[in-house]
Amino acid sequence: MSLAKAEPAEPTDLAAQLGPSPVDEPAQFYRRYSPYVARIVIRLHAVDDELEDLVHDVFATAFRQADKLRELRAVRGWLATITVRTVRRRQQKHRLRRMVGLDEHLPIQLEAPGASPEQRMQVQEIYRCLEQLPVNDALAWKLRHVEGETLKQVAAALECSLATAKRRIARASAHLEVNLND
């Protein structure tokens, strides 16, 4: 049978081929992936009092959009994209509220076992500098340098081109270089 004559797979056929969605068991799905989502939230957002809310928001979105998950092996990337979108919206909201003097949040103490007080202060200073940047630039830098994602993964999580991801990381790196070396 040639590809030109092949009938496109019906959505029900495709669903049958994929098998059950990992989202079909919400409690198990949450238990398995919530530590991964929480780690991303902590490193991207660094606001202690919002961690549980953001993780909950990510999973609420994931359960609503479960039909968009096309490949089972892409679950982590799919969740990372949802997490980045959720964090981006929250950071944009905070930025607007700070501009009008309505927002104060407590920075989270980032996990750094064995880090000296000086190293912890450096991390806090980096996060303060990143708050001055456009949200997407800061997120791109954190995904690349804190989470250790590849450039391709950064671009996918931020839903932008590879070139745009590279530009965002470069702008953030240049900003940090100038502001941390004063």
The rounded Cα 129 to chain-centroid distance in angstroms is 19
Please give the backbone phi and psi of residue 114, each rounded to the nearest 5 degrees, phi first: 80, 0
- Assign 107 to helix, strand or coil: strand
Report the half-sphere exposure of 127 (CA within 13 A, side-chain side): 19
- Per-residue pLDDT of 61-119, as tens digits, reads 998 888 887 777 888 999 999 999 999 888 888 777 666 555 555 455 556 667 787 87
Report d(CA 178, CA 52) in Å as an integer.
Answer: 34
Q: Of all residues in the chain, what percent carry a pLDDT higher than 70?
A: 75
- The listed CATH number (1.10.10.10, 1.25.50.10, 3.40.50.300, 3.90.1150.10) that belongs to domain 112-182: 1.10.10.10
- The listed CATH number (1.10.510, 1.10.1740, 3.30.930, 1.20.1740) that belongs to domain 19-108: 1.10.1740
Report helix, strand and coil shares of the chain as percent, to nearest 5.
70, 0, 25
